[in-house]
Amino acid sequence: MHARLILPLLFLLPAVASATETIDPARIVSAATGDWDKDGDSDLALIVRPAEGSDDDNGVYVYLAGETGALGLKSAIPNKVWGQFDLAGQAPSVTALPNGSLLITSHNDAIGRDRWEQKLTVAYRNFDFVVAGYTYSSYDTLAPDNTSQCDLNVLTGKGKANDKPFAVKGELVLLKDWDDDRGQKACGIR
């Protein structure tokens, strides 16, 4: 995303963050703009580090443009996305997809022998944000043949794990209610 697009939006955040929390722009680690609700106006999604000294994970904040075009907070989900910023290879990100969905990525490419990447495809359905897709891959740096890959359509329950199709019960899971264990269990990872 271009810096010239993000900077003007950052100045709006203190006014629209929430009644209980103002987001310090220095805590924003990833941002994406897109039309999440498909109304023709640009919306904003952020991944925000927790306050200093907190053991929480990163939060996801999604703003929708209202009738006047001003951004309003639609979803504030603290403690949702794993990631560290002290070391390279562990920072989460949010990306706008061409179909109007969000892609939230977390990963460990730096520490230990177990390396992994997880992606949540988030869609706006029934006036809220739901997890539509779950993708997970991992490998062991000391045992190159020890790999795992899974892609699950959460809405339909159809997926593929290590090139083998599987099916679980499809469900509509709000992003705020999503737990990564749900996807890992469906994929047979845990």
Q: What is the dihedral of CA 127, 99, 17, 48, to 10 degrees?
A: 130
Q: Is 138 helix (H, G, I), strand (E, B) or coil?
A: strand
Q: Is 12 helix (H, G, I), strand (E, B) or coil?
A: helix
> Could you say which DSSP state residue 167 is in?
E
The residues, ordered by sequence, that sit 6+ positions from 94 with a Cβ below 8 Å of its Cβ are 30, 31, 32, 45, 46, 47, 60, 102, 103, 104, 105
Instruction: Name beta bridge partners: 47.
Output: 30, 60
Other C-beta atoms within 10 Å of 46: how many? 25
Q: Contacts by 38-42 with C-beta closer than 8 Å and gap 24+?
A: 38/100, 38/124, 39/65, 41/65, 41/69
Q: What is the pLDDT of residues 41-100, one digit of tens each?
A: 999 999 999 988 889 999 999 999 998 889 999 999 999 999 987 767 889 999 999 999
- Sorted by where each begins, the domain ranges of the chain are 27-186
pTM here is 0.86
The answer, yes or no, to whether residue 10 has pLDDT greater than 80, is: no
pLDDT for 2 equals: 39
Q: What is the pLDDT of residues 140-184, one digit of tens each?
A: 999 988 899 999 999 999 999 999 999 999 999 999 999 999 999
pLDDT for 11 equals: 44
- Residue 18: pLDDT band with limits 50, 70, 90: very low
Report which of residues 19 and 139 the model is more confident about: 139
